[in-house]
Chains A and B, each alone.
Chain A
Amino acid sequence: MSLIQLPSLRSALRATFVRELRIAGRNLAELANPWIFFIAVTLFVPLGLSAESKVLSVFGGGLVWILALLSVLLSLERIFQRDYDNGSLEQSILSGQPMYWLVSVKVFAHWCLTGLPLALLSPLLATMFAVPLKGWLALFLSLLFGGLAMSYVGALGAAMTVALRRGGLLISLIIIPFYLPLLIFGSEAVRSAQIGNPYVPHVMVLIAMAIFSVLFAPLAIGGALTVSMRE
């Protein structure tokens, strides 16, 4: 029995979430890094490949998906790295609050800063890549739920490499195979919506993957972070 009264789980989780957003708000340059990458490629593609809307609309949806994957990959390292370096991750493990929930909230905050804005931005990108109106909803929904799976699976890679110097490249290598199903279903959803085929099944598969990774990834992430502390 502990002598110190622990704050309730709810307030601890709220504090974690608010802290993540506040840190992100104070490191705008770091936060904007994937977005700048996103904008850069958006500019490069029409110039480098073709600016004709007929050509662009063929691969526009898939391109937005590739961009989303790459920018999430770029941002994975920051989920745990700073907290690991300055010791606050260790403190939250020692805090007595359940790891599962702390990790879940932390990764959820990451999604709010990467996956969610990408999904919200997707209509703008769809316009720029000449994706027909029919494909917009599919693009939005697939990025919304696919992004959730991307964050949770990616956080597992981040947790496994957090104790390593220069783990960034290794994260990508570990995580890329697990991202491929997401890319396949996400881009296929947009493609079938564009030609008028049903896209709901693809989105359903993505939702299933998101639910699965949201439920189970924090278990493995918690274990990996605890072991990382020993390094």
Chain B
Amino acid sequence: MAWQWFHQLGSPKWFYDKTGPWLPWIGCSAILLFAIGIVWGMGYAPAERLQGNSYRIMYVHFPASAVSLGGYYVMAIAGAVGLIWRIKMGFMVMKSAAMIGAVMTFLSLATGSIWAKPTWGAYWVWDARILFMLILLLLYIGIILLMETYRNQDSADFMVAILALVGTVLVPVIYKSVDWWYSLHQTASIKLTGKSAIDASMARPLIFTITSAYVAYAWFVIYNARTEVLFRERKTKWVKDLLAKG
């Protein structure tokens, strides 16, 4: 009984039927949380002593970064679920998580480089974290390309799940080694102005936007997975009935 939900969630039809009503709630709460966080952050949080108003981009930058890293593990775990229990739903979630993960990583890099220009004086600086995010983006792109190149769905699922799992072992290694590489190099002309610990008046809106990013991530993953369900199950009777109904 206790594990029944697990098997049910493994059935694409059950997943599709069950998650349908969730979507509006998840979507609305994401929008609401983001609206609160962004209005508060942009309009009411105090300006930073050294960076002025430019620091406010962090209300988008931090959530995107947090989700892109956490999203990698969501993707890998979904792949592992698919591999170990032979649950196709796992692979579908893995695929949708990969797409959103790549978008979030790119968003994090883009906002980061916009923020870097006024703060550090250059759009691109060879910093350990930036480099790590770039590597993460490469990993995501590799996974998506591998997924799209295979014609056979089962092969694609298997290869991508293996790659994602190998990646989970290596992501901490890459993270550590990049960190270590950076600490050895002199930090040429980077002036980290906003080094001071963040004040609560600035952090509170941040909590809202980070939460909203996670909720929005969940919404996208479910939404994409539902599309994937329809696509992969397009030959089954229930999808045909569903589409006939309009």
A174 interface contact, C-beta 8 A: yes
A231 to B139, CA, bound (A): 24
Scan A168-180; emit 1 where CB is below 8 A from any B CB, else 0. 0010011011101
Which residues of the partner chain B approach A220 to less than 8 Å between Cβ atoms? 162, 166
Nearest residue (CB) in A for B154 is A230
The reply to whether B159 and A227 form a contact with Cβ atoms under 8 Å apart is yes
Which residues of the partner chain A approach B184 to less than 8 Å between Cβ atoms? 188
The reply to whether B146 and A160 form a contact with Cβ atoms under 8 Å apart is yes
| Residue in B141, B150, B170 whose CB lies within 8 Å of A178 | B170
Scan A113-148; emit 1 where CB is below 8 A from any B CB, else 0. 000000000000000000000000000000000000
Binding stretch for chain A, among B99-107, B173-181, B221-229: B173-181
CB distance from B238 to the nearest CB of A (A): 27
B contact face: mostly helix, strand, loop, or mixed: helix
The reply to whether B151 and A184 form a contact with Cβ atoms under 8 Å apart is no
Which residues of the partner chain A approach B141 to less than 8 Å between Cβ atoms? 173
The reply to whether B174 and A177 form a contact with Cβ atoms under 8 Å apart is yes
| Residue in B146, B155, B178 whose CB lies within 8 Å of A170 | B146
CB distance from B64 to the nearest CB of A (A): 20
Nearest residue (CB) in B for A175 is B142
The reply to whether A160 and B138 form a contact with Cβ atoms under 8 Å apart is no
A161 interface contact, C-beta 8 A: yes
Nearest residue (CB) in B for A216 is B169
CB distance from B125 to the nearest CB of A (A): 18
A97 interface contact, C-beta 8 A: no
A152 to B164, CA, bound (A): 17
The reply to whether A156 and B150 form a contact with Cβ atoms under 8 Å apart is no
The reply to whether A223 and B145 form a contact with Cβ atoms under 8 Å apart is no
The reply to whether B146 and A174 form a contact with Cβ atoms under 8 Å apart is yes
Which residues of the partner chain B approach A209 to less than 8 Å between Cβ atoms? 173
Chain B: how many interface residues by the 8 Å CB criterion? Answer: 27
The reply to whether A173 and B145 form a contact with Cβ atoms under 8 Å apart is yes
B207 interface contact, C-beta 8 A: no
Which residues of the partner chain A approach B177 to less than 8 Å between Cβ atoms? 180-181, 184-185
The reply to whether A170 and B181 form a contact with Cβ atoms under 8 Å apart is no
A161 to B142, CA, bound (A): 11
The reply to whether B151 and A177 form a contact with Cβ atoms under 8 Å apart is no
Which residues of the partner chain B approach A160 to less than 8 Å between Cβ atoms? 146, 159, 162-163
B31 interface contact, C-beta 8 A: no
Nearest residue (CB) in A for B138 is A177
A228 interface contact, C-beta 8 A: yes
Supposing A223-B162, A227-B158 touch, asked if A180 and B135 sit within 8 A by C-beta, the answer is yes
| Residue in B142, B145, B162, B173 whose CB lies within 8 Å of A181 | B173
Scan A197-231; emit 1 where CB is below 8 A from any B CB, else 0. 00000000000010000000000100110011011
- By a beta-carbon cutoff of 8 Å, the part of chain A in contact with chain B is 156, 160-161, 163-164, 167, 170, 173-174, 176-178, 180-181, 184-185, 188, 209, 220, 223-224, 227-228, 230-231
- Given A184-B177, A224-B158, 10 more pairs with CB closer than 8 A: A160-B162, A161-B149, A167-B149, A170-B146, A174-B163, A181-B177, A227-B158, A227-B159, A231-B151, A231-B155
- By a beta-carbon cutoff of 8 Å, the part of chain B in contact with chain A is 135, 138-139, 141-142, 145-146, 149-152, 154-155, 158-159, 162-163, 166-167, 170, 173-174, 177-178, 180-181, 184
23 sample A-B contacts, Cβ–Cβ < 8 Å, listed by A number: A156-B166, A160-B146, A160-B162, A163-B150, A163-B155, A170-B145, A173-B142, A173-B145, A174-B163, A177-B135, A177-B139, A180-B135, A180-B178, A181-B170, A181-B174, A185-B177, A188-B181, A188-B184, A220-B166, A223-B162, A227-B159, A228-B155, A231-B155
